[in-house]
């Protein structure tokens, strides 16, 4: 199946979720993530600011701050299709940019290098058990993952995980996918395939 069709089908399913279900399921995923030892030992977590119907990361970020874990969020550069992470210590340091995305204001935040991110939470729309993903189509994370060598995890609702997604030679899979019902250790699955 084509990536665009797959993306649109899964987004349509997710958008059917009512607000209460969305918040409850997001909270379950947040709790599962906060039970991960490697997350709790991280100094800096790289994470996007979510928009419905993505798993809610706003409350997750508040939990990370309360645990003393630093948070870095990406700023996308549309012309170069590149992205750079900046540390935020407050949601007041965000601005709304194109496509209603929330991104850090570079003039009041500190740039964080890829090698300084302890753990990267990679967004996506559709995933398979091997960790391959279909994102929103911009290719920003595909480019960033080329230079990021640390561990990666994706947060998703169970409906976002399918048997297989289309793969291209440049696609880099994530290590773990955490949903409200399951945990896929993708790098272990890839070792078997």
pLDDT confidence tier of residue 80, bands split at 50, 70 and 90: confident
pLDDT at 191 over 80: no
Number of Cβ atoms within 10 Å of the Cβ of 128: 20
Q: Which two tokens stand for residue 160?
A: 């976002």
Number of Cβ atoms within 10 Å of the Cβ of 78: 11
User: How does DSSP classify residue 86?
Assistant: E
What helix, strand, coil percent values describe the chain, rounded to 5? 35, 25, 40
Predicted confidence at residue 170, as pLDDT, reads: 77
- What SS3 string covers 25-76? HHHHHHHHHHCCHHHHCCCEEECCCCCCCCCCCHHHHHHHHHCCCEEEEEEE
CATH of domain 3-192: 3.40.50.10420
Residues with Cβ within 8 Å of 123's Cβ and at least 6 positions away in sequence, in order, are: 48, 50, 54, 135, 136, 141, 154
pLDDT tens, residue by residue, 52-63: 999 999 999 999
pLDDT at 1 over 90: no
Interatomic CA distance for residues 189 and 182, integer angstroms: 14
* Mean pLDDT calculated for residue range 78-88: 89
**Percentage of the chain lying above the pLDDT 70 cut:** 98
Predicted confidence at residue 88, as pLDDT, reads: 97
* Mean pLDDT calculated for residue range 104-114: 95
Query: Would you call 77 exposed, middle or buried from its count of C-beta atoms within 10 A (0-12, 13-18, 19+)?
Result: exposed
pLDDT confidence tier of residue 78, bands split at 50, 70 and 90: confident
Spans of all domains in the chain: 3-192
pLDDT tens, residue by residue, 123-162: 999 999 999 999 887 778 888 888 898 999 999 999 999 9
Position of tokens 């084509």?
Answer: 2
Query: Of how many residues is the chain composed?
Result: 193
pLDDT at 189 over 80: no
More confident residue, 51 or 139: 51
Q: Taking the model in full, what pTM does it have?
A: 0.92
pLDDT at 99 over 80: no
pLDDT at 193 over 60: no
pLDDT at 192 over 70: no
């Amino acid at each position: 199946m084509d990536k665009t069709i797959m993306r649109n089908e899964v987004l349509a399913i997710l958008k059917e979720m009512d607000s209460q279900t969305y918040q409850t399921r997001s909270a379950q995923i947040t709790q599962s993530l906060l039970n991960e030892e490697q997350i709790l030992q991280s100094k800096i977590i790289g994470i996007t600011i979510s928009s419905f119907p993505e798993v809610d990361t706003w409350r997750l970020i508040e939990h990370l701050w309360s645990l003393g874990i630093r948070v870095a969020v990406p700023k996308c550069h549309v012309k170069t299709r590149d992205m750079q992470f900046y540390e935020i210590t407050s949601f007041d340091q965000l601005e709304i940019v194109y496509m209603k995305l929330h991104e850090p204001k570079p003039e009041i935040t500190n740039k964080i290098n890829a090698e300084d991110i302890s753990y990267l939470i990679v967004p996506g729309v559709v995933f398979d058990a091997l960790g391959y993903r279909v994102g929103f189509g911009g290719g920003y994370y595909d480019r960033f993952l080329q230079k990021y060598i640390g561990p990666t995890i994706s947060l998703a609702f169970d409906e976002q995980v399918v048997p297989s997604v289309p793969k291209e030679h440049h696609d880099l899979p994530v290590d773990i996918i955490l949903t409200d019902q399951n945990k896929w250790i993708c790098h272990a699955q890839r070792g078997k395939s």
